[in-house]
């Protein structure tokens, strides 16, 4: 039985790639040193997979930023404005990813979007009129040859043309106009790898698990009929993940690829499809049975039960998706053995694959009995004790617990009167730059190198400076700056019962940004107030309102590794009850505005539209309402989302029943704003007026223009002015400059609004 993985984490066991890339961005290391680091990491990872006995080892799953961007660059899909910078290829690549502001010019980055239902983000390829698709890059081939030179035969991985088209934007050109060029380029890629002697090529086509229209189907067939027409010795693997391919399964079977990768973990219908519609004898079935997204051990008995129902001779055991979404290894952790044995990170999943393969093959005789027995033992016993009191509380929730009173219109009048904010109120999303100093001091405190008092004093100093700065530049609603937080989810998890924390379980979120999701180990409850002291401290420094800052239950769940022994709905309601206690404590301590971030609300939205409400929104939105349903009429509830793609779920967003919502807008188009109008969206909105994912500083003129554009679509009494997202990843200098420009722009527009009618 052969084994493979869809992809392997590239960031390195200790985030070496992040460290090196950021050093390069700062100018501390050379391009050559960075390239070398990449090489070193690839070698380590290939060797690890080899040692673990994985038969088909992927290559080109490595990336300096994002593999979708790699594919765009490979195919010469680089907008002219980036080429005009005339930077080195690597710097052009980073300019596409992060924007560029310097001697060569000033360009914003390509839009970044959520990668399907994960917390990974990809950069959106952009076709324009002058785009001439051709095989322009060599990374794919170089990395294949690099592995080969190390004595490792790999399976080069590249994003497939169907998904590339689905994810891309077309500016001044169309899909039809670009299609033939794309197909030709992919054919060339296949031909080149064929010549180089590759045995397998993996084309990733996750878009196939979504709802497929008749047009999509035709597009898919056109592409794959052409791609598979030429004779070749290299085998083509059409890899899908993140769900089942129910709309196009029959067509997949009909095209001339040599292997099909199917997700048997998230793909609820995958097994049924194979059993009812069959699987052709001339293809290999890459069975994604090891979960690439969660960190729990694979239940071998259950997996073997699935494998039994599949055509044995054609199987290759694989992961459900790339292991990019799980941390590197449990080995680095210090969990007690009883706990650790329940986890499998990327490295351990490799062993699961080879153990499962050996069990299926029955090759190793007695040797295989041991892992099987140990695995069965693990799943026989109850892992955690139930909190009975909490279970009763959750079961006893009624309609009224999920509904804030009075209704929005009535509240908004009271709030307008009590908060007394100017029109176009300015605010930020919460965090201020986490400087080296902040991180270093927190690290010292964690290591007990400084006392609790020293740490507290330090944080209070930071808060005081932050409040003073915000007053100075004239922001209207202040924040305390979130200096005490490492991460918006981890921080809450650490202060709630039921979470476990890893030391090093980092997962790439985008580019060099990694997150360390907490693990929901048991039932969740609040031990003590979490944020109240910080918010209250900041509030007594100023007469302006200070926003309390909380993370919402859906986001806490979605950015954690969830339990698999109870439903995610049940876990979310437990978290909601805990955060509700925090909301009420903030309110009792004089905080008038409370922001409950739901940055990750969309994360677990089913990829198929037809499942959105029933499977997800129908419980996720009420869980958010549960958090704020008991606050007083004058308390203003804000929420924040890190993206603007919710035109399609606007009614659900409105049903969150917040008073204000801020969201990302600067990197995406403004079409959402029209949708807000069309839906008579009631919540006030703060579409981000500048991109915080990039270090560039927007000018006052630029920001004034943006605000005016927003005002064309949004009634002035509903509009808030704020950046896209929290500022913690940014440097202080650019942040201060940007915020100052933002408040200036807001006051200029306000003045214009006041005086213009007079002049007329």
Binding residues for L-methionine, as ranges, are 429-431, 482, 597
Per partner kind, with CB cut-offs from 5 to 8 A, the member of ligand GLN, Zn ion, none near residue 52 is none
Residue closest to 110 by CA, chosen among 136, 77, 158: 77
Rounded Cα–Cα distance for residues 371 and 351 (Å) = 10
SS3 letters across 364-415: CCHHHHHHHHHHHHHHHCCCCCCCHHHHHHHHCCCHHHHCCCCCHHHHHHHH
Nearest to 247 by CA among 265, 223, 220, 278: 220
Among 599, 623, 637, 714, binds ligand GLN (CB under 6 A): 599
Span interacting with ligand GLN, options 199-207, 254-262, 285-293, 725-733, rule CB under 6 A: 725-733
Rounded Cα distance between 46 and 53, Å, is 11
Shorter beta-carbon distance to ligand GLN: residue 71 or 558: 558
- Choose one: 41-49, 252-260, 424-432, 744-752; the region binding ligand GLN (CB under 6 A): 424-432
State the minimum distance, in angstroms, from the CB of residue 483 to ligand GLN: 11
Per-residue mark of binding to ligand GLN, 575-594 (x: CB under 6 A)? --------------------
Return phi, psi of residue 693, to 5°. -80, 0
Minimal distance, residue 549 CB to ligand GLN, in Å:
5
The 119-148 site mask, x for binding ligand GLN (CB under 6 A), equals ------------------------------
728 contacts ligand GLN (rule: CB under 6 A)? yes
Binding mask 427-466 for ligand GLN (x = CB under 6 A): --xxx-----------------------------------
Q: Binds 12, which of Zn ion, ligand GLN, none (CB < 5 to 8 A, cut-off by type)? A: none
Distance CA(293)–CA(45), nearest Å, equals: 19
In the shown chain, the binding pattern of residues 502 to 541 toward ligand GLN, with x for contact by CB under 6 A and - for none, equals ----------------------------------------
Q: What is the CA radius of gyration of the chain?
A: 26
Number of C-beta neighbours around residue 363 at 10 A? 11
Burial class (CB in 10 A: 0-12, 13-18, 19+), 235: middle
Number of residues that bind Zn ion (CB under 5 A): 3
- By CB under 6 A, tell whether 349 contacts ligand GLN: no
Among 459, 496, 599, 600, binds Zn ion (CB under 5 A): 599
> Alpha carbon of 79 to those of 70, 172, 667: distances in Å?
14, 12, 16
Helix (H) or strand (E) holding 457: helix 452-473
Q: Would you call 693 a catalytic residue per the annotation?
A: yes
d(CA 194, CA 234): 5
Structure tokens at 690: 């500048």
- The tokens for 91 are 């710097």
| Annotated binding residues | 15-18, 114, 429-431, 482, 513-514, 559, 597, 603, 640, 642, 664, 725
Residue number, 193 or 601, with CB nearest to ligand GLN: 601
Classify the C-alpha dihedral 140-141-143-144 as positive or negative: positive
Q: How far is the CB of 400 from ligand GLN (least distance, A)?
A: 29
Q: Does 725 bind ligand GLN (CB under 6 A)?
A: yes
Q: Where in 669-688 is the site for Zn ion (CB under 5 A)? A: none
Rounded CA gap, 47 and 151, in Å? 10
**Angle subtended at Cα 99 by Cα 94 and Cα 102, rounded to the nearest 5 degrees:** 95
The site that binds ligand GLN (CB under 6 A) totals a number of residues, namely: 13
Stretch that binds ligand GLN, among 261-269, 307-315, 423-431, 529-537 (CB under 6 A): 423-431
Closest CB to ligand GLN among residues 349, 667: 667
**Alpha-carbon 161 to chain mean position:** 22
Query: What is d(CA 237, CA 240) in angstroms, rounded to the nearest whole number?
Result: 9
User: Residue 267, CB half-sphere, CA atoms under 13 Å: how many?
Assistant: 32
Q: Under the criterion CB under 6 A, does residue 488 sit at the interface with ligand GLN?
A: yes
The reply to whether 550 sits near Zn ion by the rule CB under 5 A is no
SS3 66: coil
Binding site for ligand GLN (CB under 6 A): 429-431, 482, 488, 549, 597, 599, 640, 642, 725-726, 728
Binding site for Zn ion (CB under 5 A): 599, 642, 725
List active site positions. Answer: 693
């Amino acid at each position: 039985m052969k084994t493979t993985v869809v992809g392997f984490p590239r960031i390195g066991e200790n985030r070496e790639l992040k460290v090196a890339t950021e050093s390069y961005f700062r100018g501390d290391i050379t391009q050559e040193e960075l390239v070398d680091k990449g090489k070193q990491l690839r070698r380590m990872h290939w060797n690890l997979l080899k040692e673990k006995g994985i038969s088909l080892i992927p290559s080109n799953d490595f990336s300096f930023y994002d593999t979708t961007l790699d594919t765009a660059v490979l195919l010469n899909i680089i907008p002219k404005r980036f080429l005009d910078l005339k930077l080195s290829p690597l710097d052009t690549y980073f300019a596409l990813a992060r924007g560029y502001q310097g001697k060569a010019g000033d360009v914003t980055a390509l839009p970044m979007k959520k990668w399907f239902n994960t917390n990974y983000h990809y950069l959106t390829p952009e076709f324009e009129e002058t785009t001439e698709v051709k095989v322009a890059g060599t990374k794919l081939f170089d990395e294949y040859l690099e592995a080969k030179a190390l004595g490792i035969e790999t399976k080069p991985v590249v994003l497939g043309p169907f998904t590339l088209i689905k994810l891309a934007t077309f500016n001044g050109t169309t899909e039809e106009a670009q299609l033939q060029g794309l197909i030709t380029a992919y054919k060339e890629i296949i031909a080149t790898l064929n010549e180089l002697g590759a045995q397998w090529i993996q084309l990733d086509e996750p878009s196939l698990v979504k709802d497929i229209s008749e047009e999509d189907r035709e597009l898919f067939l056109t592409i794959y009929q052409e791609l598979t027409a030429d004779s070749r010795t290299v085998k083509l693997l059409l890899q899908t993940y993140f769900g089942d391919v129910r709309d196009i399964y029959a067509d997949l079977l009909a095209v001339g690829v040599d292997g099909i990768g199917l997700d048997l973990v998230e793909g609820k219908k995958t097994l049924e499809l194979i059993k009812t519609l069959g699987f052709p004898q001339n293809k290999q079935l890459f069975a994604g049975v090891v979960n690439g997204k969660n960190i729990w051990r694979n239940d071998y008995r259950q997996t073997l039960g699935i494998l039994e129902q599949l055509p044995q001779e054609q199987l290759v055991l694989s992961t459900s998706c790339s292991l990019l979404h799980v941390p590197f290894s449990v080995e680095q952790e210090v969990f007690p053995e009883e706990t650790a044995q329940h986890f499998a990170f990327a490295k351990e999943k490799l062993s699961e694959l080879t153990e499962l393969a050996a069990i299926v093959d029955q090759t190793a005789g007695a040797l295989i009995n041991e892992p099987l027995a140990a695995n069965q033992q693990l799943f026989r016993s109850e892992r955690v004790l139930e909190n009975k009191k909490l279970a009763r509380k959750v079961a006893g929730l009624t309609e009224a617990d999920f509904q804030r009173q009075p209704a929005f219109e009535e509240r908004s009048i009271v709030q307008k009167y009590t908060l007394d904010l100017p029109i176009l109120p300015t605010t930020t999303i919460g965090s201020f730059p986490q400087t080296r100093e902040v991180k270093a001091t927190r690290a010292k405190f964690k290591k007990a190198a400084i006392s609790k008092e020293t740490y507290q004093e330090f944080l209070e100093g930071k808060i005081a400076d932050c409040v003073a700065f915000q007053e100075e530049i004239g922001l209207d609603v202040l924040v305390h700056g979130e200096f005490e937080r490492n991460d918006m989810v981890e921080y809450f998890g650490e202060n709630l019962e039921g979470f476990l924390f890893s030391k090093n379980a980092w997962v790439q979120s985008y580019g060099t940004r990694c997150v360390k999701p907490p693990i929901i180990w048991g039932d969740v409850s609040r031990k003590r107030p979490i944020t109240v002291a910080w918010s209250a401290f900041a509030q007594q420094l100023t007469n302006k309102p200070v926003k309390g800052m909380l993370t919402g239950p859906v986001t806490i769940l979605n950015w954690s590794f969830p339990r698999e022994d109870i439903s995610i709905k049940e876990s979310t309601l437990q978290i909601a009850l805990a955060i509700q206690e925090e909301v009420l404590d903030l309110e009792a301590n004089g905080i008038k505005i409370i922001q409950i971030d739901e940055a990750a609300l969309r994360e677990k939205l089913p990829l198929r539209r037809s499942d959105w409400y029933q499977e997800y929104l129908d419980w996720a939105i009420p869980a958010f309402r549960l958090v704020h349903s008991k606050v007083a009429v004058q308390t203003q509830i804000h929420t924040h989302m890190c993206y603007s793609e919710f035109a399609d779920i606007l009614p659900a967003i409105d049903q969150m029943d917040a008073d204000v919502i801020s969201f990302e807008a600067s990197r995406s188009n403004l079409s959402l704003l029209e949708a807000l109008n069309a839906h008579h969206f009631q919540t006030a909105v703060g579409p981000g007026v500048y991109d915080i994912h990039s270090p560039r500083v927007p000018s006052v003129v630029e920001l004034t223009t943006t605000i005016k554009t927003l005002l064309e679509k949004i009634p002035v009494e509903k509009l808030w002015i704020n950046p896209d997202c929290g500022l913690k990843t940014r440097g202080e200098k650019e942040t201060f400059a940007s915020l100052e420009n933002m408040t200036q722009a807001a006051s200029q527009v306000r003045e214009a609004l006041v005086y213009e009618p007079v002049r007329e």
